[in-house]
């Protein structure tokens, strides 16, 4: 089974060292194959891509897996990832249904809430048959690893995109409402001013 694997590091330099070892192991061993590997870092409250590589290795579910990490990074670096990073999940939940975006089952929520400014993580797609080799490499570093079924993460990313679209739609509607309210206020202001000017003209004519 293919998994999306995320490893959180306590020391940034160790994440880059681990990435280098994964890359070396990938190209020097016949018993280890990765698909997409990235290092993510949180900078100024936003998750950004710092480094990575794509081996082009085909998985058993390559049609769905292809581009998964790139799509995931896009969501994490987008408005939903930022909101979850600020702990706004409950607030979003009041707008749309994201009850399934809990940290225990959601990679997006886990990364968004787990990473603090300057924290780093490695995220990759890997078959569970290589778990032992991967864990052996990571055992050298101060890190924590979680695994999520790739098919579930694919669905989660699609769901997150739908949420983003709903948030954008509601934001546009809110802006329209605010503009409408602002325009109505301006109309009232102009009405009051015009009425006052007309009354002023009446008084001037009467005094002539």
Domain membership flag for residue 16: yes
Q: Look at residue 22 and tell me whether its pLDDT is greater than 70.
A: yes
Is residue 2 very low, low, confident or very high in pLDDT (cuts 50, 70, 90)? Answer: confident
Structural domain contains residue 32: yes
The answer to whether 125 touches 35, Cβ cutoff 8 Å, is yes
Q: Name the residue with higher pLDDT: 25 or 102.
A: 25
- What is the average pLDDT across 92-106? 45
Closest CA to 57 of 118, 124, 116, 12: 124
- Strands of the 46-54 sheet, one edge to the other: 46-54, 34-43, 120-127, 2-9, 143-149
- Asked if residue 19 belongs to a domain, the reply is yes
Residues 6+ apart with CB under 8 A from 166: 95, 96
Give, to the nearest 10 degrees, the angle between helix 107-114 and helix 68-76: 50
- pLDDT on residue 64: 45
Cross-strand pairs, 124: 5, 37
Q: What is the pLDDT of residue 92?
A: 40
State the residue for tokens 């581009």: 67
Mean pLDDT over residues 68-73, rounded? Answer: 79
Q: What is the pLDDT of residue 63?
A: 44
Is residue 81 a contact partner of residue 110, using CB atoms and an 8 Å limit?
no
Contact call for residues 111 and 74 (beta carbons, < 8 A): no
For the ranges 37-41, 90-94, 159-163, 172-176, the one whose mean pLDDT is highest: 37-41
pLDDT of residue 141: 96
- b/e per residue, 58-95, with b = 16+ CB within 10 A? ebebeeebbebbebbbbbbebebbebbbeeebeebeee
Alpha helices in the chain (DSSP H): 12-28, 62-65, 68-76, 79-85, 89-93, 107-114, 131-138, 150-207
Query: What band does 208 get if pLDDT is binned at 50, 70 and 90?
Result: low
Q: Assess if residue 102 is contained within a domain.
A: yes
Query: What's the number of domains the chain is made of?
Result: 1
The length of the chain, given as a count of residues: 208
Residues 154-169 have a mean pLDDT of: 75
Asked whether residue 186 is assigned to any structural domain, the reply reads no
- Say yes or no to pLDDT of 107 above 70: yes
Tell me the residue range of the domain where 66 lies: 2-170
Is residue 197 in some structural domain? no
For the chain, what percent of residues have pLDDT higher than 90? 23
For 129, the token pair is: 């048959």
154 falls within a domain: yes
Q: Do the domain assignments include residue 139?
A: yes
């Amino acid at each position: 089974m293919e998994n999306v694997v995320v490893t959180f590091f306590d020391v940034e330099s160790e994440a880059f060292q681990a990435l280098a070892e994964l890359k070396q192991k990938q190209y020097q061993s016949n018993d280890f194959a990765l698909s997409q590997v990235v290092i993510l870092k949180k900078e100024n409250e936003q998750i950004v891509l710092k480094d990575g590589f794509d081996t082009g290795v085909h998985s058993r579910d390559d049609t769905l897996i292809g581009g998964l990490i790139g799509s995931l990074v896009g969501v994490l670096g987008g408005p939903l990832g930022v909101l979850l990073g600020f702990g706004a999940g409950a607030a979003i939940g009041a707008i749309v249904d994201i009850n399934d975006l809990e940290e225990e089952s959601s990679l997006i929520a886990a990364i968004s809430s787990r990473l603090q400014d300057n924290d780093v993580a490695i995220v990759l797609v890997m078959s569970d048959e290589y778990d032992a080799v991967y864990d052996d490499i990571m055992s050298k570093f101060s890190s924590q690893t979680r695994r999520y079924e790739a098919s579930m993460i694919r669905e989660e990313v699609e769901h997150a995109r739908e949420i983003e679209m709903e948030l954008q739609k509601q934001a546009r509607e809110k802006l329209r409402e605010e503009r409408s309210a602002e325009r109505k206020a301006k109309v009232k202001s102009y009405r009051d001013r015009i009425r006052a000017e007309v009354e002023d003209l009446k008084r001037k004519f009467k005094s002539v």
